[in-house]
Amino acid sequence: MFAARTIASTFTLVVSVCTILIFSVAISYFYHRSRVALEREVENNAEKLVLASVNRMEATLRAIGKVAEGVGRSVETGVTSDQSLSLLLRRTLIENREIHGLGVAFEPDPAFNPPCPVVPYFYRQGDQLLFAPEENFQYLQQDWYQIAKELREQAWSEPYDDETSGEILMTSCSVPIFMDQGKEKAVRGVVVADVSLEWLTRLVASIRVLDTGYSFLLSRNGTFLTHPDRNLIMNETIFSLAESRNSPELREIGRKMARGESGLVAYTNLRNVDTWMYYAPIPSTGWTLAVVFPKAEMYADVHRLTFTVTGIALGGIGLLTIMVFFIARTVTAPLGALAKATEGIAAGHFDTNLPPVRVRDEVGKLTLAFAAMTTALKEYIRNLTETTAAKERIQSELKMATDIQASLLPRLFPAFPDRPEFDVFAAMDPAKEVGGDFYDFFFVDQDNLCFLIADVADKGVPAALYMMVVKTLLKAEGQMLGEPDRILSRVNTILAADNDSCMFTTVFCAILDTTSGEVRFANAGHNPPVLISGGAARLLSVRAGFVLGPMEEAVYASERITLLPGEVLFLYTDGVTEAKNGQEEPYGESRLLAALQERADRELAEIIHGIRADVARHAGGAPQSDDVTMLAITYRGIGTNTTQ
């Protein structure tokens, strides 16, 4: 059983649930759109920050490259003596504090011994410029020399520790020096400008996003040049980290960086914190600058704002729920009083006082309607009591009529136990309490048995009354006249004389001569009988005749057949063949003939009971509109022993 629930509580619950759903959808949409907008804004800001830093680095590195190219062009145009070259290098270093060291390495000359000359190199140490001539320095195998020479253009080396200048992490910008040699320019040497990465480290470290965001710098091959974790610098690459962490995602990011791409990607850092990372290349060196910022910090403001909005919404929903509950309870209080009063009315206490009507609103109108309904119910129950009593009287009378009608029909079988030369059996199932079908059999003299079956064209009490009149007339006239055609003609004349209701009946009337088996019969619009002979069943071909009652001048013909011993004549009304099932399919004559043929060797009672059961199976419980009546008679012949 469900617990009782008031309208006020139900209304409050529905309003609260709907409000919560609306606010939930609105807050979810707000949160989603805020996240999208924030991600777009952070991506734009990160892109601007990274590109601004990249441009600063690129400007400095390009300037250093231009300085190195200027030194190279000076050497190409005649600055070749040791003194002039030293002055050029010192002056250049003084004017460009971003350069840590500057030198010139020439191609070896076989005329010299050793062939590789001294490399003039100046570098900074504090505020001083120191000269570090490299004698017999095998610079020809150094990357900074080989790359610039082979590419014949400016090149930046991978970062390295320079032991000569104090083990400082730096990178070198190499610029080839050319000299004319026929049609082609030959490489005469390489200008090398060493740049300390300390200023890059400070610049990268100054790039901060949110509270704990950080940045790092990777070389062309993915080596960490700067990073908050100093253990990674020059010791790990992004690919070695991806391998150690088994992270295909990080490996793919490294490949994109190596290809010089830029973009924003989701990334789980070394501390297993979900972050966003924006990266962009430095064109001149091929290095990559990346900034990393935690997702939690990025969404912190959105989360705080969402929690605040949610709290305000929940508070508003709570206040709204309280207001709705009190308003609903105030509105439904009269309805509750009315409901309590109607419980008494529902229990049969129609004198229960209804609450007074103070306001002509919906509840007031409902109260007035209940008052009118109570008055109507009292009247209805009074009428129903009278009607029920009358119906019970009618039912009782109909039961008596049913019993009376049944008593009018022969019901005792065998009907003539002392007459072994024939046997007769009949049954009737009325469609209503009383029916319009009937059958009868009686002797008109010592040797002639009159038997008949009839169907009044109506149902219920009128048909039953008409049936009793017709049955009485048929028996009375039959015993006097003794011939089927004369019996039907006389009864028809009597019925048609005062037939204001235009009722009529079909009759099949026959007389069996028990000494010979001859059957004389006449038909008044009834179904033809079935002859069962030799294990087969067939319909007799009889004249239809006109029904009894409508017309006085109707004439009926007499026909005759002779029954051989063991043959059966089966009479029935149309309630048998017209019995319908749920699909409106009639029982039909073909089914009747098949069922009779199947039972041809049975006793008369078994035949009729079998047909009744077969018709009931066909109907399948569907209500029938016509009575089902059957009569069967068999001739056994003179001298038949009743014990056989």
The predicted pLDDT at position 441 comes to 95
* Residue 386: CB atoms within 10 Å: 10
Compute the radius of gyration of the chain from its Cα atoms.
61
Taking a C-beta distance cutoff of 8 angstroms, is the pair 33, 338 a contact? no
For residue 114, pLDDT beyond 50: no
* Residue 432: CB atoms within 10 Å: 17
* Residue 529: CB atoms within 10 Å: 24
Taking a C-beta distance cutoff of 8 angstroms, is the pair 236, 243 a contact? no
Q: Which alpha helices (H) appear in 133-193, and where do they start and end?
A: 143-151
Sign of CA dihedral 376, 382, 384, 387: negative
**What does the pLDDT look like over 500-515, one tens digit per residue?**
778 899 999 999 999 9
> Which secondary structure element, helix H or strand E, spans residue 181, and what is its range?
strand 168-181
pLDDT confidence of 411, banded at 50, 70, 90? confident
The Cα–Cα gap between 378 and 389 comes to 17
In terms of Cα–Cα distance, which of 74, 130, 124, 61 is closest to 104? 74
For residue 333, pLDDT beyond 60: yes
Find which of 130-139, 193-202, 582-591 is predicted with most confidence, using mean pLDDT.
582-591
Joined tokens for residue 68: 């190195």
| Stretch 271-289: mean pLDDT | 85
> In this structure, what are the phi and psi dihedrals at residue 577, rounded to the nearest 5 degrees?
-75, -20
Q: Which domains does the chain have, with CATH numbers?
A: 1-335 (3.30.450.20), 412-635 (3.60.40.10)
- Ramachandran category for residue 620: left, alpha or beta (phi over 0 → left; psi -120 to 50 → alpha): left
Joined tokens for residue 303: 């989360």
For residue 320, pLDDT beyond 50: yes
Sign of CA dihedral 618, 621, 623, 626: positive
Taking a C-beta distance cutoff of 8 angstroms, is the pair 324, 11 a contact? yes
Taking a C-beta distance cutoff of 8 angstroms, is the pair 624, 579 a contact? yes
Burial class (CB in 10 A: 0-12, 13-18, 19+), 439: buried
pLDDT confidence of 412, banded at 50, 70, 90? confident
For residue 65, pLDDT beyond 80: yes
* Residue 522: CB atoms within 10 Å: 25
SS3 readout for 391-446: HHHHHHHHHHHHHHHHHHCCCCCCCCCCCCCEEEEEEEECCCCCCCEEEEEEECCC
Residues 6+ apart with CB under 8 A from 475: 440, 442
Point out the least confidently predicted range of 80-89, 113-122, 287-296, 456-465.
113-122
User: Chain-centre distance of CA 426, in angstroms?
Assistant: 62
- Distance linking the first and last C-alpha atoms of the chain: 69
For residue 211, pLDDT beyond 80: no
The Cα–Cα gap between 74 and 68 comes to 10
pLDDT confidence of 329, banded at 50, 70, 90? confident
Measured at the alpha carbon of residue 329, what is the angle toward residues 323 and 334, in degrees to the nearest 5? 150
Point out the least confidently predicted range of 89-103, 116-130, 241-255, 271-285.
116-130
